[in-house]
Chains A and B, each alone.
Chain A
Amino acid sequence: MTQVNINVHHLTRVEGHGNIVLNVKEGKIEELKWIVTESPRFFEVMMRDRHYEDVNHIASRICGICSISHSTVSLQATEKAFGVKPSEQTILLRKLLFNAELMESHILHVMFLAAPDFSVVGSVFPLINTHKDIVVMSLRLKRLAYNLAEALAGRKTHPLSCIVGGFAKLPQPAELEALRKRLEEAFIDLDAIVDLFKTLKIPDFKRETEYIALKDESEYAFIRGQIASSDTGLTPVENYLKVTNEFCVPQSTAKYTKNARDSYMVGALARFNINHNKLLTRAKAAAADLGLIAPNHNPFMITVAQLVEVIHSVEHSIQIIDRLLDKGLKDEPNTVNPKRGRGISAVEAPRGILFHDYTYGESGILKEANCVIPTNQNHNNIQKDFEALVPLILCQPEDEIRQTLEMLVRAYDPCISCSTHMLRIDFK
């Protein structure tokens, strides 16, 4: 096409607000931008001067879909600042809670937000009539994840029982047993979804970039470990600013990040590339089945990596429940003595590595906070993918170009609503 004018305002089926602009004149790209327009949220301001007991409650509201990640990283940052060491039981419960969030978030994305792209329908709703069994399966998996989180934290969106130093309430063994049974049954639904995905045509596009994820020697890392980069190796979490290097760009609105190259990727595919050898048995088999082999440089495969991670998290949840039931859940003493000082923590939210950095003053009052969220770390990578992809597809009709670009952005599963710090610039 010699003349293309694409302007997708408020891209749908992503959380938050983002726009795509592409202008082509006489076969030349004049403008190509991924622009983020979400209203700024000011979380760093909102958490200031709050008592530590309420800090994770507020942090959780950064994002409705990864509230467990924000809540947990917040608790861990506070614990680091105070020198509190969570018990083994607390760590296991947190990991289990993380699996619940990952399952729910990934199924929502894979089946409800990304899958309609493959059937070329605008939403999941028409699929209820054409593919009811698959929709019901997906809802069942989401519901299982929801109930798992509910048993551990009172509810999934904005969890309640997780507190600094541990859990304010423990799940009942009978609840865990019942959930374990449902997790076993979930493999039937997941096998069917894997079979469906084998039939879908994933766009063939490659652009190698830097991949960044948490890495832990003992397992596929979610709540502990060091920052690992495919380019620059390991960095302790405390030095996260050396990796994120946030900067402002005039074109767009969010703070961007870069490390060794122009941009880097975080999220399911980055985790897979860094930690694939730590996946559990069924997840490994599913990856092979779906043609996902590390290192993979196709951003459209993020969706497939998410599906593999769902399978991993179900297997991992069963293992954790067995450990917990084996050892017996115990009410543990939890004394927290607030101290002045700084605490930094990183976790793998469903969409990628997430940092919270807190400085506490007297009496457990938070004085300063900095949060670097996954989606902001991917914006620059989305832009660079655009620049590599568009010349390859420029010969296609405008509608198809738009569809492919939208699909690329959606593959990243951006969750722009968690714009803790975004620029908002008026262009003249």
Chain B
Amino acid sequence: MKPKVAFFDFTGCEGCQLDALNLEAEDLIDLLNGIDIVNFREVMTEKADNYDIAFVEGSITTEGEIERVKKIREQAKIVVALGACACIGGINCLKNHVPMEEALRIVYGKDAHYYNTIPARPADAVIKVDYYVRGCPPATSELVKVIKALLLNKKPDIPNYPVCVECKMAGNICVYEKGQTCLGPVIRAGCNAVCINSGRYCWGCRGLVDEPNIESQKDILTKYGLTAEQVIEKFKIYDTCSEVLK
């Protein structure tokens, strides 16, 4: 029996799911031979309430979403958080820094009282999550790796060293040399340092490594004469900051 796989989306841009369809045709068809997709609202009409593996994408931002994700947990044998929004809270948590009433007033003015919303949070703030596919969006290769490992009943092998390792292997010049701020020293690798390879810096979308070496990040700041505030502002973008504070 092929395992039944379902995809569910909460508050997010749905880029994680849609990106999965950008695999090479052969790889995608290959993957589809090994699993039975029973729920993928983005691309299919049929739905089933019977599934083994549930991928949840997006942050939890309403009471209704809390109920929905709990039901999914009850139903699924394995729950995988897909993408930064589901794994660490991600970009949606930026709204948490503004008091809710003010946020509503800014966007909706006099109609603000119509809305209901709660502070954005990752899936594991509400339910137990078994595996994480990190990134915003995740590298498609990592998604495939995780699905394949699950099919073999194995624990997926995700790096627990910082982005700097991959960045240096890719032969980049450190962006601190250019006076920019980068979260690479404390963020979990696995993206092949794609942002730095593309001329930018790391925003921390994959979350912290286990036991991050905050001291080494501090040393870098001292070396380049930067302030902790500058780095904290960057950490806010994916809410990696609240992980540090935990």
Contact = CB atoms under 8 A, between A and B. Distances in A.
Given A63-B13, A158-B137, A41 B92 contact: yes
Contacts of A123: 40, 43-46
Interface stretch (B16-24, B125-133, B206-214): B16-24
Contact of B44 (A12, A155, A163, A423): A12
A356 interface: no
B16 A64 contact: yes
Contacts of A45: 94-95, 98, 103, 106-107
A39 B11 contact: yes
| B interface, size bucket | 35 or more
B200 A168 contact: yes
Contacts of A155: 194, 198
B41 A156 contact: no
Contacts of B198: 153-155, 160-161, 168-169
B25 interface: yes
Contact of A42 (B41, B107, B136, B194): B107
A104 B103 CA distance: 34
Contacts of B92: 41-42, 46
B220 to A, nearest CB: 19
Interface stretch (A137-145, A196-204, A290-298, A346-354): A137-145
B107 A423 contact: no
B60 to A, nearest CB: 9
B75 interface: no
Contact of B22 (A153, A156, A167): A156
B108 interface: yes
Interface string B35-48: 00100111111110
Contacts of A278: none
A125 B47 CA distance: 13
A10 interface: yes
A339 interface: no
A390 interface: no
B194 A113 contact: no
B42 A158 contact: no
Given A54-B237, A123-B45, A139 B37 contact: no
A108 B136 contact: no
A425 B111 CA distance: 10
Contacts of A426: 116
Contacts of A284: none
A142 B22 contact: yes
Given A39-B11, A123-B43, A46 B95 contact: yes
B13 A154 contact: no
B41 A12 contact: yes
Contacts of A54: 203, 234, 237
A162 to B, nearest CB: 9
Interface string B189-224: 000001101111001000000000000000000000
A13 interface: yes
Contacts of A193: none
Nearest to A113: B43
B194 A64 contact: no
A321 to B, nearest CB: 19
B65 A39 contact: yes
Contacts of B11: 39, 41
30 contacts: A12-B45, A13-B41, A15-B42, A39-B10, A40-B107, A40-B117, A42-B92, A42-B95, A42-B103, A45-B94, A45-B98, A48-B106, A63-B13, A64-B12, A64-B13, A64-B15, A64-B17, A65-B14, A112-B43, A139-B23, A154-B195, A154-B200, A156-B19, A156-B22, A157-B137, A158-B15, A161-B198, A417-B9, A424-B115, A424-B117
Given A64-B17, A424-B114, 20 more contacts: A10-B41, A15-B42, A39-B10, A39-B61, A44-B106, A48-B106, A61-B91, A62-B13, A64-B12, A108-B18, A112-B21, A124-B43, A125-B43, A142-B21, A142-B22, A143-B24, A157-B137, A158-B15, A161-B199, A163-B200
Interface of A: 10, 12-13, 15-16, 39-42, 44-46, 48, 50-51, 54, 57-58, 61-65, 67, 104, 108, 112-113, 116, 122-125, 128, 135-136, 139-140, 142-143, 146, 153-158, 160-161, 163, 167-169, 248, 417-418, 420-421, 423-426
Which 5 residue pairs are nearest across A and B when measured between Cβ atoms?
A: A64-B15, A168-B199, A154-B198, A123-B44, A169-B199
